Amino acid sequence: MDLKAFLRTLPGFEGFSPPHFDAFASLLQVRLYSKGHIFISQGVPGQALYMIMDGAVLLSRTDELTGFRQERELRAGEVFGLLSLLDNLPAAANCAALESVTAASLPRAEFNELFDAAPPVGHHILYMVAIQLARDLQERNMSLRTLLQQQARAA
């Protein structure tokens, strides 16, 4: 699949000007990953944002407070590793290829270059990071509430 055609299918990326869109595409690295490839490990800082072009990735996380494990399958068009773009934040989940996966990646260094080359795209990705942080915060709050309720019942 053509990278630019793929990017135009992603929500929020279709409206950028051609020069900004081209600058963004030029910073991405498209690669084929084999089944079992570990993209991100929970608790370890990630190195890049990934956009799945083809294949499937298993996103799994274990809440260290409750022990609750969540799993979700990601498919073509989905983005993961957004928090990897922020310096040295530990990843909230594991991401591993369930089958061979073609993905476009945006390493942290290239993300920083994006603000010079295509500021509107960089700002859009920061918006996506903010949404991810809000979702993670909501999940953490729910986990803490559940843990507190369990402890209150046990007391």
117 token code pair: 């080359």
36: left (phi over 0), alpha (psi -120 to 50) or beta: left
Output the DSSP codes for 36-76: T-EEE-TTSB--EEEEEEES-EEEEEE-TTT--EEEEEE-T
Domain residues of the chain, as ranges?
3-154
pLDDT tens track, the chain, 155 positions: 689 889 888 888 878 888 998 999 999 999 999 999 999 999 999 999 999 999 999 999 988 777 788 899 999 999 999 888 887 788 989 999 999 999 999 999 899 899 899 999 999 999 988 898 888 888 888 888 888 888 888 87
138 token code pair: 């909501």
DSSP secondary structure letter of residue 80: E
State the CATH architecture for 3-154.
Sandwich (2.60)
141 token code pair: 């709050």
pTM to 2 decimal places:
0.86
Query: For the range 6-10, what are the long-range contacts, defined as Cβ-Cβ under 8 Å and sequence gap of 24 or more?
Result: 6/51, 6/53, 6/104, 7/51, 7/104, 9/77, 10/51, 10/77, 10/79
